Structure 1
Amino acid sequence: MNQRLYIDVHVIQTVPPANLNRDDQGNPKEAVYGGVRRSRVSSQAWKRASRRHFDARMPEPERATRTKRITNELVTRIAGNTGLDHDEARPIAAALLAQLGLSQGKKAGDTAYLLFYGNAQLDAVADLVNNDAPDLAALDERALAEAVKELPVAQTFATGHPVGVALFGRMVADIPKLNVDAAVQVAHALSTHETQLEFDYFTAVDDQNEKDETGAGMIGTIGFNSATLYRYATVGFAQLTHNLGGDIQAAHDALDQFIDSFTLSTPTGYQNSFAHRTRPSLVAVVVRTDQPVNLVSAFEEPVAAEAGIQANSARRLAEEHITATQVWGDTPLYNAASHTFTTSEPRTKDTAETLAQAFGEPVTFADLRTTLRSRLTTALETQA
């Protein structure tokens, strides 16, 4: 598949007082953009939230795991498959993983870095020794390494990638054969307006205080802010298909899962303290054949809080898309939007009309995803 197809996802979402993603001081992350300080949620935070969202709906073997403790995970699988105890299975697991040349961490059995792999891939590595495990357990270290050296351990990790690895890729600096180029790029979410850091001063009372005892048992502060965020991600469909072994239907499914999870997930920082989960007010999808385009420039001049920020932010985004189409001659293969703005409300009438001009009449989120799949299928059939 040679045609370049990029699926851009643009989201406007308002979050109440929250601390979604904290910095090294425990406060919400921020960035200066357009000369003012903005609320920021890191790319990594929302990628993890997205991955956990779609993993929660998948069977265990189809999920991905990121850990330094891959040796322990493999030991558990070998022991469960063969009846060996963990001490007997550990040298076998170490010998199998030694083929990869993973740098070892400070703690025994840990790798020096997090390794991202599919649970089914590790299951397959464990299955390589199912029949010979008792005999392998009786060998010394040198003989064991010789006995397993021809087993296709690296090949197993290089194929059959789960959705998480296919989407977000895998980087192992000292072992290029394990690298998987990411099909997804996720931008740092930025508020469309200037924000101010605030602090919640809290106290907690000791329930076992004596009757004459006063005062708090605990005092503290939590930094927070509230923001209307612009969120952006893009998916390279050709790369996604390649990562999934050329399976176009699997790529369609993975794309649909990503759009659903990226849109509906939320980082969980301090979620019990703030109950900050909201739905986006706008989700727009644009399919391009030239390059991905982040529309954050719509907010280089911060949105003013005259009569609410959400509708003005959505209108700014639509106007930026229209400008890009007119000035640069962009001709998206498909664009559509699902949003909450209507022409029946005076406050959102202009926004709804501008959104219709930019992305067409609004559709439900389910219809947006269904039509996207249909348009991509047609484009690929035309190419073929």
Structure 2
Amino acid sequence: MTENPNMYADMYAIHSIPTANMNSDDNGMQKKVSVGGALRTRVSSQAWKKAIRDRFDERAFRTKKAVALLVRKMMDIDNGITEAEASEKAVKLLAEEVSLTKDLTTKALIMLSPSQIDNAARYALSCDSKKYSKKDVREILKKDNSLDLALFGRMVADDPALNVDAAVQFAHAFSTHRIEPEYDYFTALDDLQNKDEQGASHLDHTEYNASTFYRYANVNVNELIHNLNRNKEAGIAGTVEFIRNFVLAMPKGMQNRHANKTLPSYLMVSLRTDTPVNLAVAFEKPVIISNNEYGYTDKSIERLENEFNSTLKMVDNPAATFVLNLESDDTKVKGAVTAENLNDLLQRVSETLTKAVQDEDNND
């Protein structure tokens, strides 16, 4: 874990999504949660993190087949090695750090970056397998994390020294308002059934609803820098990339059925040095629309901004706050700068973090 002063990038979104079932339970029903005594739609943090992770150009392998990955990489590097020889080396190398089954898979999923696989393969090829050093193997598997591994962390029960503390905290998204589940009953007919046959060949139903979500996540920027070999430029770029994909990514559950890919109406990014702050309490009481009123987005944005201002009675003023609101050019957030578009907001975040890191260097 990093010992540098903290810098947190809090990000908040108000995101209206039409009919959808992005994240279902084991019965195919939309996940839900009761907040303040009112039933809400919920999308798990895991579902949204997976959607974000899938957008990264390079990402770690999350697999039990680490031996097979290592064998393939060794054979790519050295055309003269046989599969049996590579397998023997891979097993002996990985056995220094993790438990393997009789099928030569790891007992639990493990995340390994492409660079870690490449470095491990080159090390395995460079010396006799009898001379593999646990210290060397551990060092190879600890450095050169991919961005997703550095952001979301890694737990290795066999050797906690390989654990990577996540730089991201990601909340479950939930609707700002009460919901009433709705159901789609559907049938399918056999195109080739006889004319005298009646009835459908398939009957089923699925749940869906339309919701305006409150979404929140934060990045511990200095922890991310630490996880990326203490590369400050990579840490800042990684934070910006995460924010971009926080906005653009969406879980793919039943997306072909609903075509529900939308963008947030509102994004706020706040850079803090004291503590991350989740503003979910703004929606403990569900947003309610009166007679002759329609839409939850505007009232949800108003609730969020008011809650942000209220928290300033309890925490320090942020180093900087940036707002992108598709509904309005104005904001009630104290001290906030309004961005023209997403690229403008991300550029401002990058410049602010770069200056903060330079100031830390000057104070060392």
TM-score interval for Structure 1 and Structure 2 normalised by the shorter chain: over 0.9
TM-superposed deviation, 1:124: 1.1
TM-superposed deviation, 1:68: 1.2
Matched residue, 2:344: 367
Matched residue, 1:157: 141
Matched residue, 2:50: 48
- Give deviations 1:83-134, integer Å, cap 9, x for gaps: 334333222211110111x2335x71222211011011111111123356xx
Matched, 1:120 2:115: yes
TM-superposed deviation, 1:204: 1.2
Matched residue, 1:18: 20
Candidates 265, 277, 295, aligned match of 2:279: 295
- Give deviations 1:268-291, integer Å, cap 9, x for gaps: 111111111110001100001110
TM-superposed deviation, 1:362: 4.2
Given residue 190 of structure 2, which amino acid in structure 1 is its aligned partner? D
Compared CA separation, residues 358 and 196, structure 1 to 2 (3 A): farther
Matched, 1:333 2:335: no
> SS at 1:328's partner residue?
coil
- Give deviations 1:324-352, integer Å, cap 9, x for gaps: 12x22531100011111127xxxxxxxx4
Given residue 287 of structure 1, which amino acid in structure 2 is its aligned partner? L
Is residue 335–residue 359 contact of structure 1 (8 Å, CA) maintained in 2? yes
Is residue 53–residue 59 contact of structure 2 (8 Å, CA) maintained in 1? no
Matched, 1:187 2:171: yes
Provide the rounded CA distance (Å) in 2 between the counterparts of 1:124 and 1:280: 40
Given residue 217 of structure 1, which amino acid in structure 2 is its aligned partner? S
Residues 171-180 or 81-90, more deviating: 81-90
Is residue 319–residue 358 contact of structure 1 (8 Å, CA) maintained in 2? no
Is residue 274–residue 315 contact of structure 2 (8 Å, CA) maintained in 1? no
Compared CA separation, residues 381 and 151, structure 1 to 2 (3 A): closer
Given residue 368 of structure 1, which amino acid in structure 2 is its aligned partner? L
Is residue 323–residue 331 contact of structure 2 (8 Å, CA) maintained in 1? no
- The equivalences for 1:79-118 within 5 A come to 79-83=75-79, 84-100=81-97, 102-105=98-101, 108-118=103-113
Structure 2: segments with no counterpart, 5+ residues: none
Matched, 1:218 2:195: no
Provide the rounded CA distance (Å) in 1 between the counterparts of 2:281 and 2:157: 33
Given residue 78 of structure 2, which amino acid in structure 1 is its aligned partner? T
Is residue 65–residue 117 contact of structure 1 (8 Å, CA) maintained in 2? yes
Is residue 168–residue 219 contact of structure 2 (8 Å, CA) maintained in 1? yes
Candidates 271, 274, 277, aligned match of 2:261: 277
Matched residue, 2:310: 323
Compared CA separation, residues 202 and 154, structure 1 to 2 (3 A): same
Candidates 76, 96, 104, aligned match of 2:72: 76
- The equivalences for 1:236-255 within 5 A come to 236-255=220-239
Given residue 143 of structure 2, which amino acid in structure 1 is its aligned partner? T
Give the TM-score, by structure 1 length: 0.88
TM-superposed deviation, 1:263: 1.3
Provide the rounded CA distance (Å) in 1 between the counterparts of 2:206 and 2:71: 41
Of all paired residues, the percent bearing the same amino acid is: 38
TM-superposed deviation, 1:150: 6.3
Provide the rounded CA distance (Å) in 1 between the counterparts of 2:342 and 2:324: 6
TM-superposed deviation, 1:305: 3.2
- Give deviations 1:60-81, integer Å, cap 9, x for gaps: xx42111111111112112222
Higher helix residue share: 1
> SS at 1:202's partner residue?
strand
Given residue 336 of structure 1, which amino acid in structure 2 is its aligned partner? F
Provide the rounded CA distance (Å) in 2 between the counterparts of 1:377 and 1:149: 39
Matched residue, 1:378: 355
Structure 1: segments with no counterpart, 5+ residues: 137-143, 344-351
Provide the rounded CA distance (Å) in 1 between the counterparts of 2:207 and 2:126: 56
Compared CA separation, residues 89 and 380, structure 1 to 2 (3 A): closer
Is residue 9–residue 218 contact of structure 2 (8 Å, CA) maintained in 1? yes
Is residue 187–residue 233 contact of structure 1 (8 Å, CA) maintained in 2? yes
Candidates 314, 332, 345, aligned match of 1:354: 332
Given residue 95 of structure 2, which amino acid in structure 1 is its aligned partner? A
Candidates 121, 124, 127, aligned match of 1:129: 124
Provide the rounded CA distance (Å) in 1 between the counterparts of 2:335 and 2:192: 61
TM-superposed deviation, 1:26: 1.5
TM-superposed deviation, 1:49: 0.9
Superposed CA RMSD in Å reads 1.9
